[in-house]
Amino acid sequence: MGDESTSHSVSQLGGIDGNKSCETQVVLNVYDLTPLNNYTVWFGLGIFHSGIEVHGKEYGFGAHDFPVSGVFEVEPRSCPGFIYRCSVSLGRINMHPSEFRTFIENVASEYHGDTYHLISKNCNHFTDDMACRLTQKRIPGWVNRLARLGSLCSCLLPESLQVTTVKQIPEYHHESEDDTETLSITTPRVSEELDDDQEKRLLSPLAAMSPVAGSGDVTFVKEAHK
């Protein structure tokens, strides 16, 4: 998926013989979208959000209206609006932070907010893709099992859950100290079929985010210019 520059493995991007100071752990942080997970997880099912942690920051993917980056950055294990469940170590990589920034900006160009889809391109698809590119490992199957089941039974799902995303209007404010864009979120515009908070969270992690929805600032990653 994507161009060759973003599909390189870590060994190609950063090498395995680089400076030890560039070594960092890659961690999958998993969150509950509903307390019902405490019961359904025993059956291998649940509704989860996940983010990938690298160099002390966590990266996730969510929906908005526009054909620009939907990849966002938060403090690890602190994604607003969700309940942190657990972390899964995916291994270690040797990549300089500036090299990783180039990598994540290239990935962001493949994950626009208006392409988010609950069944085929959600936050867990993003973290699985990131894990494969960085460590050649997949995230645990239970994290995104519900979406895989949904893809097999899409004809049984309500149309709103198949194709609709919760629309957020991101406003970007440039910060000169780094290459991220600070996100402000205006009042969400939700399709008429969805008027329940739980359905909104199912459709997009960004639906749960607001300036008062939890700890930690949310910033979009600026995508690389082609």
- The dihedral built from the CA positions of residue 85, 91, 95 and 99, taken in this order, carries a sign that is negative
Which is catalytic among the residues 64, 79, 112, 123?
Answer: 123
Measured at the alpha carbon of residue 79, what is the angle toward residues 167 and 5, in degrees to the nearest 5? 75
The DSSP bridge partners found for residue 51 are 29
Active-site residue 132, yes or no?
no
Active-site residue 174, yes or no?
no
Which is catalytic among the residues 8, 49, 64, 153?
Answer: 49
Q: At what angle are helices 123-135 and 97-108 packed, to 10 degrees?
A: 140
Alpha carbon distance 170, 193 (integer Å): 22
**Which residues are designated catalytic?**
49, 123
